Amino acid sequence: MSTAILTGPPVPGSSLDADLRSLGFDVEVATGPRETGALLAAVPAGQRVALVDPRFVGHVHSLRLALTDPRFPAAAAPGALTAQPEARAALTRALGAAGTAETPAPGGQATDTVVDNLPDNLPDTLAAALDADGVAVHRPQLGTLVAAVPDGPEARHQARTAVEAVDDEAVRLKSAVKAHDGFFTTFFISPYSRYIARWCARRGLTPNQVTTASLLTALLAAGCAATGDRAGYVAAGVLLLVSFVLDCTDGQLARYALKYSTMGAWLDATFDRAKEYAFYAGLALGAARNGDDVWALALGAMVLMTCRHVVDFSFNEANAGSGTATALSNRLDSVGWTVWARRMIILPIGERWAMIAVLTAATNPRIVFWALIVGCAFGACYTTAGRLLRSLGRKAPRTDRAAQALADLADSGPLSRIGALIVGRRGRAIGLPFALLGAAGMLSAAWLWPFGARQVVIMALAYAVFWSGIAVARPLKGTLDWLIPPLFRAAEYGTILILAAKSDSPQALPAAFGLVAAVAYHHYDTVYRIRGGTGAPPAWLVRTIGGHEGRTLVVAVLAALSANRGNDFTSALTALAVAVGLVVLVESIRFWVSSGAPAVHDEGETA
């Protein structure tokens, strides 16, 4: 239960008390300024508390946005202020600064706060004091919604007229939809999925339940695709679209009901990838039933899409706060038609899933994967080229935080320390040229397999690993150093794909698919931890799973030892995939259910 304190007697005829109770608050009314501090001190420290001016006039949704959003320690709208437990001490200090006297408890220690001579519109005064105290006070964008503290009957009448002129439920429904989304999602899904979200909210369903339903529907779609017959493909396409509708609904439900959570952030951030990868596997199994082996295409599509996402993540982290990432986009957005054109050609998740669903129902898995590969490759080239041009024109120096984020995204393991010891950490950034040498060396060594002696190929890979270590030996502050993490992802995933494709071990490609999926999960998990401000996964995890260079070398050694030995390479890849998957998943679950996990909700990512 949360507590709302009216800082004075309610205005006759006001519905403020009922509005606050409808939002889940236990309402207390201060008889005067002196009692406000005492009521605040009486609220348990672990509860949210809100202070509301009794003259407040506004929409219920204005109060909901200002007082119930769980993501912010403190939030405010005109005439209303809320503080969660982590901001309660600062609120007490602000209240004291506004005019307090401490009442000593038995034993001489001060406890309850007694307030005299508090200013008019106390919530606004305290919100300004919290800002001055270094507490970030979130102020939601209300748009056409009304939140005001009118002074006098005439102003109050005008405020009530303004409230009646705007349907806050319509505003609430509209704001439930993500502000920046793809063309397909905006025009073919969101017009009705928002009403599904409201239906779910009115029946007490949570975003996590809808997210889980979306995952189960996608897994069922993958199972239908695995049947390999036309009816199964048609059912798979339909179910995949249903899964995507639910995927949109869970975020809209979270925004509609303001039910954000750390668990929901984790589920939302990872289930999209799990659903897509599971569907790829289902398509490959279905094709195999018809004698068409498309596992290499399935793995290639997953590698390409994941590397493209790493380009996005790496560039955004490298340029966080600089404006480099958005200046050109904002100029292009002023030309109306370019907004949707640019969102469509990068093949974001809505367009991508729609294409997969339609092609699955109408064609065959091979065509689906080739369409994915071509579409994702074009989108990757388009976005990467634009970011290269923007980076070359960048003048602002890269921050230490951005350099650390790039180093974390690089996912370099113990072997890279050898290069760091050789070149040291002082001096200018030297990353990208050596990252190119390392990535090219890994892919070339794998591609030459088995034309040279296995020992020579492994030595070439070890040499490439050495150059990869040199690349991250110094802080990644070079102009194009944001390319290093995607280069390493391409090298690792591509090497696994090539070695599995060239292996004489049956079913090596499906095993490699599982290994890349497990490693990709680790990399996505790293991204969302960094975005939440908690930093990368612990160093012991990176050491345990070897870093990108260690895993690549291990796969090469396994390929060499298992050559001409039947299913040994497949078994080894499977065991490695299970081991990596278990370690990263257990640690990920431990982190995301912990109290320190951030409530990361991705409002801008459409891909």
Report pLDDT digits (tens) over 96-123: 887 644 444 444 444 444 444 556 789 9
CA distance 94 to 129: 6
pTM, 2 dp? 0.89
CA distance 549 to 564: 25
Mean pLDDT, range 154-166, rounded to an integer: 96
3-state secondary structure of 287: helix
pLDDT band at 134; cut points 50, 70, 90: very high
Mean pLDDT, range 570-585, rounded to an integer: 97
- Give the up-direction half-sphere exposure of residue 328: CA atoms within 13 A in the CB hemisphere: 13
Question: What is the percentage of the chain residues whose pLDDT exceeds 90?
Answer: 64
DSSP states of 164-194: HTS-HHHHHHHHTS-SS--HHIIIIIHHHHH
Closest by CA to 357, choosing from 415, 267, 279, is: 279
Res 267: pLDDT = 86
Examine the pLDDT at 82 and tell me if it is beyond 60: yes
First to last CA, the chain: 38
Average the pLDDT over each of 24-38, 192-206, 351-365, 453-467 and give the range with the smallest value: 453-467
- Our CA dihedral for 391, 395, 399, 400, rounded to 10 degrees, sits at 80
Examine the pLDDT at 325 and tell me if it is beyond 50: no
3-state secondary structure of 252: helix
Examine the pLDDT at 604 and tell me if it is beyond 90: no
Res 283: pLDDT = 98
3-state secondary structure of 69: coil
Residue with the bigger pLDDT between 602 and 76: it is 76
Examine the pLDDT at 331 and tell me if it is beyond 70: no
Helix (H) or strand (E) holding 286: helix 262-289
Examine the pLDDT at 293 and tell me if it is beyond 50: yes
Structure tokens at 257: 């009901």
The 10 Å Cβ neighbour count of residue 117 is 9
Residue 110, strand partner residues = 104
DSSP states of 199-221: HHHHTT--HHHHHHHHHHHHHHH
Examine the pLDDT at 236 and tell me if it is beyond 70: yes
3-state secondary structure of 141: coil
Residue with the bigger pLDDT between 468 and 351: it is 351
Examine the pLDDT at 506 and tell me if it is beyond 70: yes
Mean pLDDT, range 215-234, rounded to an integer: 98
**With b meaning 16 or more CB within 10 Å and e meaning fewer, what string describes 423-442?**
eeeeeebbbbebbbbbbebb
Closest by CA to 484, choosing from 416, 568, 563, is: 416
Structure tokens at 474: 């110094």
Which spans in 393-430 are helix H?
400-410, 416-423
- Give the up-direction half-sphere exposure of residue 496: CA atoms within 13 A in the CB hemisphere: 36
Examine the pLDDT at 412 and tell me if it is beyond 50: yes
Angle, CA of 270, 276 and 280, to the nearest 5° = 140
Residue with the bigger pLDDT between 28 and 477: it is 28
Examine the pLDDT at 42 and tell me if it is beyond 80: yes
**With b meaning 16 or more CB within 10 Å and e meaning fewer, what string describes 133-171?**
bebebebbebeebbbbbbeeeeebeebbebbeeeebeeb
Structure tokens at 100: 């307090």
Examine the pLDDT at 413 and tell me if it is beyond 50: yes
Closest by CA to 417, choosing from 463, 465, 457, is: 465
CA 94 to chain centre: 34
In sign, the C-alpha dihedral spanning 191, 192, 193, 198 is positive
Res 462: pLDDT = 79
CA 505 to chain centre: 38
CA distance 404 to 361: 45
Residue 202's φ and ψ, nearest 5 degrees, are -70, -15
Residue 147, strand partner residues = 58
CA distance 311 to 480: 11
CA distance 308 to 379: 8
Mean pLDDT (the chain) is 88
At a CB cut-off of 8 Å and minimum separation 6, what does 267 contact? Answer: 208, 211, 212
Angle, CA of 110, 114 and 120, to the nearest 5° = 145
Residue with the bigger pLDDT between 492 and 105: it is 492
At a CB cut-off of 8 Å and minimum separation 6, what does 27 contact? Answer: 3, 4, 5, 6, 17, 20, 21
CA distance 343 to 604: 12
In sign, the C-alpha dihedral spanning 17, 20, 22, 26 is negative
pLDDT digits (tens, 9 = 90+) for 525-560: 999 889 888 888 999 999 999 999 999 989 988 988
Does residue 450 have a cis bond before it (omega within 30 degrees)?
yes
Res 35: pLDDT = 86
CA distance 468 to 484: 9
Res 81: pLDDT = 97
Return the CA Rg of the chain: 28
Closest by CA to 499, choosing from 446, 459, 543, is: 446
DSSP states of 462-522: HHHHHHHHHHTSS---STTGGGHHHHHHHHHHHHHHHHHHH--STTHHHHHHHHHHHHHHH
At a CB cut-off of 8 Å and minimum separation 6, what does 84 contact? Answer: 48, 70, 72, 73, 74
Helix (H) or strand (E) holding 138: strand 137-138
Mean pLDDT, range 384-399, rounded to an integer: 85
Q: Are 390 and 325 in contact (CB under 8 A)?
A: yes
CA 269 to chain centre: 5
Structure tokens at 397: 């120096």
Residue 138's φ and ψ, nearest 5 degrees, are -75, 130
Res 100: pLDDT = 46
Residue carrying the six token digits 């290499």: 296
